[in-house]
Amino acid sequence: GNSVTQMEGPVTLSEEAFLTINCTYTATGYPSLFWYVQYPGEGLQLLLKATKADDKGSNKGFEATYRKETTSFHLEKGSVQVSDSAVYFCALSGRGAQKLVFGQGTRLTINP
Amino acid sequence: EAGVTQFPSHSVIEKGQTVTLRCDPISGHDNLYWYRRVMGKEIKFLLHFVKESKQDESGMPNNRFLAERTGGTYSTLKVQPAELEDSGVYFCASSQEVRPSDNSPLHFGNGTRLTVT
Tens digit of each residue's pLDDT (9 = 90 or more) over A39-91: 998 889 999 999 999 999 999 999 999 999 999 999 999 999 999 999 999 99
Cα B30 from chain centre: 14
> Which member of B45, B105, B111 has the closest CB to residue A46?
B105
* Contact (Cβ atoms closer than 8 angstroms) between residue A21 and residue A74: yes
Hey, is B85 helix, strand or coil? helix
**B112 in Cβ contact with B44 (< 8 Å):** no
Distance from CA of B78 to the nearest CA of A (A): 21
If one counts every other C-beta atom within 10 angstroms of the C-beta of residue B2, the result is: 8
pLDDT band (50, 70, 90) for residue B102: low
Q: What residues in A contact B48, CB-CB < 8 Å?
A: 98-99
Q: Could you read off the pLDDT of B9-63 as tens digits, one per residue?
A: 999 999 999 999 999 999 999 999 999 999 878 999 999 999 999 999 999 999 9
Distance CA A10, CA B95 (A): 31
User: How near does any CA of chain A get to the CA of B50, in Å?
Assistant: 11
pLDDT for B100: 63
The predicted structure's pLDDT at residue A97: 65
Among residues B59, B48, B64, which one has the least CA distance to residue B97? B48
Indicate whether B101 pLDDT > 80. no
Of residues A41, A44, A91, nearest to B91 (C-beta): A44
Residues B4, A8: Cα–Cα separation, whole Å: 29
